[in-house]
Structure 1
Amino acid sequence: MIGLVQRILAKLRSLWFACVHAPRFGRCGRNVLLYAPFRVNGGEHIGLGDRTVMQRGAWLYCEPSEGQSGRLHVGSGCVFGYNNHITAVRDVVIEDHVLTANNVYISDNLHSYEDVGVPIMHQPVRFKNAVVIGEGSWIGENVCIIGASVGKNCVVGANSVVTHDIPDFSVAVGSPAVVIRYYDRSAGRWESKGVLRQGKG
């Protein structure tokens, strides 16, 4: 009985979201749900795939740089933890069935700091690199991904800071994150290494 009530409530929340909030987005699939409170900036540049769910405290931001196009695309079947912050000035793509823990930050940009005569808060935000989070990956608690991509079916351990690309089928940890385990396709098994060079695997 409790399970039935929960399913009914989830369906009602999805319908409410579809009627009230979905029009704010460039694309919003079926059965999408962002639990309130959440914040959206530049919704017209943001796409959400079917059955994607974000827990409370989500902030989705896509404000393209002047004269540039921009997109923040989230695939289908993704589940995001509490207080996730995803920001794009040009290109962030999260593929299908990505799972995140709480307090995850994903960004294709950073603040300029080079002018020592100007407070950093008054210096421009600049694009670093496009970000792709590959299908089926798991992003742990308090992870920051800044201007780097994560391959398919990867694990990024808690508290990691990803600033370089992580190849498919890898486990990465640390600040900056390094690959400590990867799937060897030729051997058909997972292998452990102290450090795997970025881009290999």
Structure 2
Amino acid sequence: MIYYNLVLYPLNKLKFGAFGYRSSVKNFIRIEKPKNIFIGKNVSVGKYAWLAANPLTGYDNCKLEIGDNTYIGNSAHIYCTKSIIIEKSVLIADRVYISDNQHGYKDIRRPIIEQPIVQLSDVVIKEGSWIGENVCISGASIGKNSIVGANSVVTKDIPDYCIAVGAPAKIIKRYSFEKQAWLKTDAKGNFIE
């Protein structure tokens, strides 16, 4: 594996906007607009990934950025049309979908496949976060050291130091610095006494 990475490193460095030392993207299914994809150092992207930074909504400076020491599991699908930033030391499990866009559906006289792509909010997954298996994040950001439980669908921002689960995802715990513990919360993130 080390030999394989040493051989591909110079090729990837030329193909991508940036490709950090000791990083690897294994047996990907598809890479769209790699010059708009910036991968930090010591990043691992598992097998069968689909990574895209394709300005389909008209943003010429479209950018997908993956920070240092991040691990992305197998079969990840990350589709950026404006801005997705995954900060450093993020852990992303298998079969996770992350996008800052969606298919348009407003015109009921036209099939959805014929409608334009709609730009959603920029996505930032802050450092130290953990994204569970089969999670879908669409036009929402995840706070620092937060956790999103398996099979969750995130369409609204999750603050720092929170645990969110469900479809749609709701906050169930938040870290209390005062009590030095993860405590249960209501759906708005307020501590339950």
Name the TM-score class by shorter chain.
over 0.9
1:28 corresponds to 2:19? yes
Write the distance in 2 (CA, Å) between the matches of 1:14 and 1:122.
Answer: 41
Q: TM-score, normalised by structure 2?
A: 0.93
Q: Decide whether the 8 Å contact of 1:17 with 1:32 is kept in 2.
A: no
The letter of the residue matching 1:42 is K
Uncovered stretches (5+) of structure 2, i.e. residues with no partner:
none
Q: Decide whether the 8 Å contact of 2:59 with 2:82 is kept in 1.
A: no
RMSD: 1.4
- Please point out which of 131, 135, 145 is paired with 1:143: 135
The letter of the residue matching 1:171 is I
Residue of structure 1 equivalent to 2:156: 164
Percentage of matched positions with identical amino acids: 39
Which 10-residue stretch deviates more, 146-155 or 61-70? 61-70
Q: TM-score, normalised by structure 1?
A: 0.90
Residue of structure 1 equivalent to 2:101: 109
Residue of structure 2 equivalent to 1:121: 113
Equivalences for 1:34-113 in 2 at 5 Å? 34-64=25-55, 65-66=57-58, 68-113=60-105
Residue of structure 2 equivalent to 1:6: none
Write the distance in 2 (CA, Å) between the matches of 1:33 and 1:107.
Answer: 21
Matched position secondary structure for 1:168:
coil
Write the distance in 2 (CA, Å) between the matches of 1:114 and 1:135.
Answer: 35
Q: Decide whether the 8 Å contact of 1:155 with 1:171 is kept in 2.
A: yes
Tell me the alpha carbon deviations over residues 8-31 of structure 1, each in whole angstroms, 9 at most, x when there is no partner. x2x212212213333111111101
Tell me the alpha carbon deviations over residues 118-145 of structure 1, each in whole angstroms, 9 at most, x when there is no partner. 1101111111000000101111010000
Instruction: For residue 194 of structure 1, report the CA deviation from its aligned partner.
Output: 4.0
Q: Which runs of 4+ in 1 moved over 6 A?
A: none
Instruction: For residue 67 of structure 1, report the CA deviation from its aligned partner.
Output: 5.1
Uncovered stretches (5+) of structure 1, i.e. residues with no partner:
1-8
Write the distance in 1 (CA, Å) between the matches of 2:12 and 2:169.
Answer: 36
Write the distance in 1 (CA, Å) between the matches of 2:142 and 2:47.
Answer: 24
Q: Decide whether the 8 Å contact of 1:17 with 1:34 is kept in 2.
A: no
Write the distance in 1 (CA, Å) between the matches of 2:70 and 2:61.
Answer: 24
Tell me the alpha carbon deviations over residues 48-86 of structure 1, each in whole angstroms, 9 at most, x when there is no partner. 000000110111101113254211000000111110011
